[in-house]
Structure 1
Amino acid sequence: MAISEDSESLFAAAAASSVIQSGSSVRRRPSAISAVATVEDESSSEEPVPVRDSGSDVDDSVSSEQHVSPATANREKNQVHDISATKFAYRPSAPAHRRVKESPLSSDNIFRHHAGLFNLCIVVLVAVNSRLIIENLMKYGWLIRTGFWFSSKSLRDWPLFMCCLSLAIFPFAAFVVEKLVQQKCISEPVVVLHIFISTAAVVYPVLVILRTDSAFPSGVTLMLFACIVWLKLVSYAHTNYDMRELTKSIEKGEALPNTLNMDYSYDVSFKSLAYFMIAPTLCYQPRYPRSPSIRKGWVLRQLVKLIIFTGVMGFIIEQYINPIVQNSQHPLKGNLLYAIERVLKLSVPNLYVWLCMFYCFFHLWLNILAELLRFGDREFYKDWWNAKTFEEYWRMWNMPVHKWMIRHLYFPCLRNGIPKGVAILIAFLVSALFHELCIAVPCHIFKLWAFGGIMFQVPLILITNYLQNKFRNSMVGNMIFWFIFSILGQPMAVLLYYHDLMNRKSKLDQS
């Protein structure tokens, strides 16, 4: 006799059996009994003999088949068969444990049975943050200033705005160089000219910021634009150089593989450069995959979300982060326990701001820009929040920069015989330099905190890779990532730069 494999059918059959044995009629809906408690006789094709209970109306329904229709008789027979199956399933000798199963809270199953716990986390999160909001308002009052977004002091940053507009000169200069090379007005190598143009695109904004007393957000914005222009100019020059080499190989009659559907035609077009400079990518190519049309309603909805989440960021910074930072001490000079308490208290609002920043820039803004330009490849990030190692995180959280690093730095290093480990170290070194420029220059402070934080990722990559290899299918590396990156690293950097900036301002006031 073969019994259904699902253990839940045993409980359903047992419940049905108790109802039948209590004297209820078998003339009821052919429901779960026949669906979950079927018994097959593997040794004989004959119908099993039903076990009759005295006082039941089974005898009346089975012995008088000549007075009912065939369909009714067949249904009555199946119900009697179900009674027999139910009684067999409820026997003490029937196995109650038939398969290997994990507990719902086991590590392999927790993410498949997490809906209720997720709802609990949401409820607790709302309750805790509601208390923090009330406590903050009771302690500090309403701290949002009327001139938070724009004030008369913002007019002093007009040199930075003019510098940002003038950055368009450098892509145009790179286009002129490439056009002259295509027309063979100048000969190879032109790498010196491109190095001069790209370097000037970064040095010029640095000098403007250092010579003006501008606000920190304005300086950060200008440096981000300058770094993006530098990365795009490098990609433009490197890609055109490679396309010229491929064109020379074709002219020599060499066969080139077309496994990647590459377009080997070398053409310097100002239209393609202009599209590349405003497209949400750092890797140049003459043509990109395009979407069929612009969804105007979708763009409007994303713009509304962008405004809302930008306001949320400003509210958290003004109402929560500023009071915590202003009431703190230098984390490396004060009391250790007090510094730990400040870092932990700052970690939650700082994490909210960082997540909002990621959502606003990498999801909303880049997708809006891509939709307006009909830019097809919108893989601006992957599921970095599931990263089990720091190496996975850096590969997934910023895909435009990652693709640039792979295309124009990592693989060129490997092709020139540089070991893999050294190539990774070079990539982090370049990233650390640009992080330091984007933060230290607007602050007018060069303490190398950002540089050290990025370079510290290298040993963390080795540690988390080792832990992932040792404890496979575990989230140990993911927990380490969240703790060091969000709970410890970012709040510590905020406190360090704030107090160094305050010390600089106090020295300037005394002088």
Structure 2
Amino acid sequence: MAAEIQRTKPQAVKNELEDSELHFVCEKLQKFQVNMVRDFERQLSSMIEDVLQDMRQRELRLHEFRNFAQSSSNGKRSSSSLNFGNNNSTWHNRQQISKKLPPHDISDSPKAATPKKVSETSAPAQRRLPDKVFIARESYLTALLQVDHMRTIYHIFYIILVMFLLNVVLHDYFVEGHFNLGLGTFRSGLQRLHWVLGVWLLEHVFVLALYYAFRGWALVRHRLKKQNSLQRFWSHSCLIMYISSQLVFGYVSCTLCLKFRLPFVSACVLLLESTRLLMKMHAFVRYNAERVIVGKLKTDGKSVGRPFLPSLGCYVYFLFAPTLIYRDNYPRTSHIRWPFAISRLLEVVAIAFLYAFIHERHISEHFADYGREPLNTPQLIVKLFGMILPSMVIFLCGFYLILHSWLNFTSELLRFGDRMFYKDWWTSHTYDAYYRNWNVVVHDWLYEYVYRDVYTHVFKGSKVGASLTVFMISAMVHEQVLGFALRMFFPVMFVLFGVVGVTLVFLMRRAPKILGNIFLWFSLISGNGMLISLYAMEYYARQNCELKIEGWTDYVIPAAWRCYH
């Protein structure tokens, strides 16, 4: 009996352990089930909310925003809007386009006997990226302002702008005794503009010379098609010369800003125009070099004796067209709407005066004496918060000035049909959508000529690596323009754009739409206020403080800090 008890005791302990383990596993499974159900309910609720919101937006567009939901049935262009074409693709920027090579590839390379795929499809495991498409369409705000409700909001902003300008004018007259009208800012900011114009003309001579250099490379490469090694040496040599010329082009524009000591506005004009031309040149070379290497289709069974090269007229039109993506042809409008073009030009002039007023009444008033006046923490906080709303006006007016008024003005003069220079970025709830929709012109260039190539050839299908590369390049270019325009090293833009902005891209991807949009606007308002205030503080601190350079740390520590510490 005792022996049986001794045998059953370990068995009971074993059963008890198994029961406890089973109970533990059941608890974990129940907890996992509860979490799964809760996450599923949350996701389902979010999906239902998205579907209902999309249905409400569709109903609104069908009744009010007809330009977004309907296409022109008769194909004719009215006096107020363009023919939008296909209503399914009017507001989409890219679509999948199948690229099929000719049955007989007549590439200049001797190894072109077997058909080759385009570089983007050479790796079958990689997802095919969509291509940029151009169709005739108006800008978002142009279409929105056809609705009476949006037009009324537009008029309200007009009245706010007029009242702001009247406030400045009356203050100058009754307080200072004369009308200023921001002319002092224009005189100081546009000094040495004739030097900028001269450099701009010389840059266009270089850009036109690139076209003939490209033709020379293509024709010589074609003549060397039977000599593979010599052809490869010629192409590699031209590639090195091309990269070197692009680097020299960018270096010269930055150096001239320092040599001529250009003021901020003139320096920004030169640097932004130089950056635009660099992007234009690369777009032309990148797009046409692939066509030269791949070859041209046979026509009626007869091979073409020379490589296909676009005409000079196509290249010159592309240089001035409001796009950074090269194509031989773009959708064109039938005529120029002169009232529309003049209205956009007047908006450019009005916003320029508004910027001058903001500089004199807010930026200069808050920070012109920074470094000379005694300053404590409460006073600094008051200055920073006092710049938040003016900075937001600068941000919004900068968007409207460049991406809507100026680009629509140039498009109307050139009869350029595709006016999608931006999308509805103001409704974004993630920074992914904001960066995609804020500046479609630059985003298209980064996507076509940086993201796609890096995605295909460098990271071999990694979207994260390609995206980070695009962000870093964009942040460095933004910082380069601001740094050389202000003639100082103060990488706040790089930190806010390349570090904080990239971090928010990953943090906000699963944010609810309403909260995400609120946080996006909060971060934009506060971030722009901080950005402009810090650059203004550093700029005036370098002018007002007599600081000595005693070591390498003095080059790194901001002057705005060293003035008071």
TM tier relative to shorter chain: 0.5 to 0.7
CA contact (8 A) 2:331 2:418 kept: yes
Is the partner of 2:184 in helix, strand or coil? Answer: coil
Q: Does 1:239 align with 2:281?
A: no
Percent of matched pairs sharing the same residue: 24
Instruction: Name the counterpart of 2:509.
Output: 465
Report the counterpart of residue 468 of structure 2 in structure 1. 425
Distance 1:508 1:154 in 2: 27
Match of 1:476 in 2: 515
| Cα 1:110/1:309, change in 2 over 3 Å | farther
Which position in structure 1 is the counterpart of 2:136? none
Question: In structure 1, what is the equivalent of residue 553 of structure 2?
Answer: none
Q: For residue 287 of structure 1, what is the aligned residue in structure 2? A: 329
1:503 aligned partner, one-letter code: A
If you compute each CA radius of gyration, which structure gives the higher value, 1 or 2? 1
Provide the rounded CA distance (Å) in 2 between the counterparts of 1:434 and 1:485. 20
1-structure distance, mates of 2:386, 2:463: 40
**Does structure 1 residue 178 correspond to structure 2 residue 219?**
no
Provide the residue aligned with 2:541 in structure 1: 503
- Equivalent residue letter for 1:303: L
Q: Report matched runs for 1:394-409 at 5 Å.
A: 394-409=435-450
CA displacement at 1:379 relative to structure 2: 0.3
**2:251 aligned residue (184, 197, 203):** 203
Partner of 1:266: helix, strand, or coil? coil
- Quote the Cα distance in structure 2 between the aligned partners of 1:151 and 1:417: 48
Letter in 1 for 2:517: N
Q: Shift of the alpha carbon at 1:155?
A: 4.8
| Residue in 2 that maps onto 1:346 | 387
1:153 Cα deviation from its structure 2 partner: 8.6
**Aligned residue for 1:491?**
529
Offset at residue 454 of structure 1 (A):
1.2
1:288-303 maps to which residues of 2 (within 5 A)? 288-303=330-345
Deviation at 1:316, TM superposition (A): 2.6
Q: For 1:109 and 1:268, how far apart are their aligned partners in 2? A: 46
**Deviation sequence 1:125-171 (CA, Å, 0-9, x none):** 969x8799489939975783674365489554543332222111331
- 1:388 equivalent in structure 2: 429
The residue aligned with 2:481 is 438
Structural mapping, 1:35-434, within 5 Å:
133=167, 137=171, 141=176, 144=180, 147-148=183-184, 150-151=186-187, 154-184=190-220, 187-189=234-236, 190-247=238-295, 250=297, 266-326=308-368, 335-418=376-459, 419-434=462-477
Q: CA deviation at 1:349?
A: 1.4
Q: Distance in 2 between matches of 1:207 and 1:494?
A: 24
Q: 1:287 to 1:324 in 2, by over 3 A?
A: same
Determine if contact 1:201/1:229 at 8 Å carries over to the other structure. Answer: no
Equivalent position of 1:66 in the other structure: none
Rate the CA distance shift 1:243–1:151 in 2: closer, same or farther, 3 A.
same
- 2:477 is paired with a residue whose SS is helix
Equivalent residue letter for 2:422: Y
Q: String of CA shifts for 1:387-442, please: whole Å, max 9, x gaps.
A: 11111011001011111111101111121151111111100111011101110001
Residues 93-116 of structure 1 deviation map (CA, whole Å, 9 limit, x = unaligned): xxxxxxxxxxxxx9999998xx89
Indicate the structure whose relative CO is greater, using CA pairs within 8 Å and at least 6 residues apart: 2
- Give, in angstroms, the shift of residue 320 of structure 1: 3.0
> In the TM superposition, what is the alpha-carbon distance from 1:172 to its structure 2 partner?
1.8
CA distance in 1, matches of 2:515, 2:175: 39
Note if contact 1:143-1:318 (Cα within 8 Å) is conserved in structure 2: no
Equivalent residue, structure 2, for 1:451: 494
Alpha-carbon distance, 1:182 to partner:
2.6
Shift of 1:479: 1.4
Change (3 A) 1:497 1:126: closer
> What letter matches 1:277 in structure 2?
L
Q: Distance in 2 between matches of 1:131 and 1:203?
A: 40
Change in 2 beyond 3 A, CA 1:209/1:267: same
* TM-score, normalised relative to structure 1: 0.66
8 Å contact kept, 2:421–2:439: yes
* 1:485 maps to amino acid: L
Q: Give the 3 Å change call, closer, same or farther, for CA 425–335 of structure 1 in structure 2.
A: farther
Contact 2:192 2:266 in 1 (8 A): no
C-alpha contact 2:268 2:485 (8 A) present in aligned 1: yes
Q: Give the deviation of 1:306 after TM superposition.
A: 2.5
Who is 1:83 aligned against? none
Equivalent residues of 2:363, 2:536 under 8 A apart = no
Shift of the alpha carbon at 1:500? 1.7
Question: CA 1:247–1:440 in 2, change beyond 3 Å: closer, same or farther?
Answer: same
State the one-letter code of the partner of 1:274. Answer: V
Residue identity opposite 2:406 in structure 1: W
Q: Structure 2: 5+ residue runs without aligned partners?
A: 1-51, 61-148, 222-230, 301-306, 550-565
Read off the aligned partner of 1:422 and give its amino acid letter: G
After superposition, what is the alpha-carbon deviation per residue over 1:7-50, rounded to whole angstroms, capped at 9, x for unaligned?
xxxxxxxxxxxxxxxxxxxxxxxxxxxxxxxxxxxxxxxxxxxx
Report the more deviating stretch, 453-462 or 495-504: 495-504
RMSD: 3.9
Partner of 1:95: none
Corresponding letter in the other structure for 1:237: V
Please tell me the residue identity of whatever aligns with 1:162. Answer: G
Write out per-residue CA displacement over residues 52-96 of structure 1, whole angstroms, 9 at most, x where no aligned residue: xxxxxxxxxxxxxxxxxxxxxxxxxxxxxxxxxxxxxxxxxxxxx
